Amino acid sequence: MALNSVKEIGANHLSTDVLVVGAGPTGLTLACDLERRGVRALVVERAAGLFPGSRGKGIQPRTLEIFDDLGVIGAVLESGGPAPVGMVWRGGVRQGEYRMFDEPEPSDSAPFAGPLLLPQWRTQEILYARLTELGGSVAFDAEVTGLDQDADGVTARLAGGGTVRAAYAVAADGGRSAVRRALGIGMTGETVDPQPMLVADIRIAEGALDRDNWHVFPPDDAEADVTGGAAGAGGFAAICPLPGTPDFQVVARFTDGGEPDLSPDGVRKAVAARTHLPADAVTEVRWASDFRPRAALADAFRAGRVFLAGDAAHVHSPAGGQGLNTSVQDAYNLGWKLGAALRHGADPALLDTYEEERRPNAARMLELSTRIHQGAARRGAATRQLGLGYRDSSLSLHTSTGASDITPRAGDRAPDAPLGAGRLFDAFRGPHFTLLAVATDTELPLLNADLTHVHRMDQCALYAPGLYLIRPDGYIAWTGRDEEGLRKYLTSTKLEVLRSYT
């Protein structure tokens, strides 16, 4: 289905498997995942094109692993770059560098160590190109004005007069989600900082500011906040070079009671008022927006056949770079479950685990983002999201794996490790489950080969001997020692579709 605008939809009445509302990182990630599973996904976007700004520029290691699985990691690594070292300025004089992020070394278990900076607009371009490769598309200028549900599906009404009928719909239409409001789902939260903020993509005269540092300008009456948060920072500004572009992203806080002026002259004045740069050093303003840092969580992530994902479900302070990454995790969690239900006949009750798993994780990330914004936490291991998991999920069952009950456990992210001439992540890559037999010759159950790939490996320091069922999103669903335990697990957790009856 090749749709490019609502004009092409016109008054047509279309049908698809999943309607995705919003072509941001969340919607595009979900659509890519669905398309590679053979699930038809139609993305509709009210804007005329992809989002043009750099806003969500921090890509965490767990998100990089997801992008690897989706087949876009090459373009992401080529376009992005590491976060530069922070540099504090005062009165036009450099005060010294500081590390804004803890920087661990890559390891066998985690091939991506630290965050990558990539402008959001470029992330979306890469995901959009991948979606096109997979046969999907986005209908731009397509605003959803209403939704109706029944026992069999969802009907969305579009501003152009057309309708879309789908088995399920996913609201990925941002923090002001029209779909969420139409469903009557509330958002519970708080204002993290009452002062308005400006964020803009700018170009700076050559030689006026180097691209080797993330430049931080505390106000004259405040100490530099070396955590990178905004607590007590008054009218601070930060200017960060954007990898792969000649642009910088500027963030400025306003404490004078006024609203940010988003005009090019307004952005120039904001930079000149907070830094040693003159206004004319800003040669171009390519995009600008304003916001008030807020933390809010949707009261529910699902209403019938409609799911909330990304900013439609949780709104973060930008501190710590958790919003986009948590949103991509939402899509990655929901994609395989929709695929199992729609493509392979899994029990639709499997979809109940989306809210069960993702809402608590989003709540934890909201708390972390707020603490970083307030200067109460560093950008450390928790922000990399490698430790997030689903141990308390009804889909996670950990039983003895033999010699010792060491990590990982059911619900944990399955770590990478050498596997023959390759890596475990090579075996995990794709829309399938993986049954991993570690240092055991136990008989394995007969599973649906299209849905589950089986691999054996010798002794591994990261996995105790035993059996591990790895979900398509890279988390361990079940651990145990024998095929009977796995059979019981599949029957009890709505995943019996994995078994083979041939």
Q: Which two tokens stand for residue 447?
A: 């599973």
pLDDT for res 379: 62
Backbone angles phi and psi of 417, in degrees to 5: -170, 160
Which tokens sit at 387? 């430790």
Residue 386: half-sphere exposure toward Cβ, Cα within 13 Å: 21
Q: With bands split at pLDDT 50, 70 and 90, how would you rate the model's confidence at 380? A: low
Model confidence at 283, in pLDDT bands (50, 70, 90)?
A: very high
For the full predicted model, state whether its pTM sits above 0.95. no
Token pair 């740069």 in the structure block, residue? 277
Q: Quick one: residue 96, left, alpha or beta (phi over 0 = left, psi -120 to 50 = alpha)?
A: left
Token pair 């091939």 is at which residue?
A: 111
CA 54 to CA 352: how far, in whole Å?
A: 34
Between residues 231 and 259, which one has the greater pLDDT? 259
Query: What 8-state DSSP symbol labels residue 381?
Result: G
Query: pLDDT grade, residue 243 (50/70/90)?
Result: very high
The C-alpha atoms of residue 257 and residue 262 are separated, in whole angstroms, by: 16
| Full DSSP string of 23-88 | -SHHHHHHHHHHHHTT--EEEE-SSSSS--S--S-EE-HHHHHHHHHHT-HHHHHHH-EEPPEEEE
Higher local confidence (pLDDT), 402 or 476: 476
Q: What value does the mean pLDDT take over residues 277-306?
A: 95
pLDDT per position as a tens digit, 10-69? 558 899 999 999 999 999 999 999 999 999 999 999 999 999 999 999 999 999 999 999
Interatomic CA distance for residues 290 and 197, integer angstroms: 5
* Rounded Cα–Cα distance for residues 181 and 191 (Å): 19
pLDDT number for residue 6: 40
Higher local confidence (pLDDT), 80 or 229: 80
When pLDDT is cut at 50, 70 and 90, the band that residue 374 belongs to is low
Tokens of 32: 């890519």
SS (H, E, C) 303-317: ECCEEECHHHCEECC
pLDDT of residue 229: 42
Question: What Cα–Cα distance (Å) separates residue 11 from each residue in 47, 140, 146, 390, 490?
Answer: 19, 15, 15, 43, 45
Q: Picking from 184-198, 261-275, 348-362, 443-457, which range would have the lowest pLDDT averaged per residue?
A: 184-198
Percent helix, percent strand, percent coil in the chain, to nearest 5: 30, 30, 45
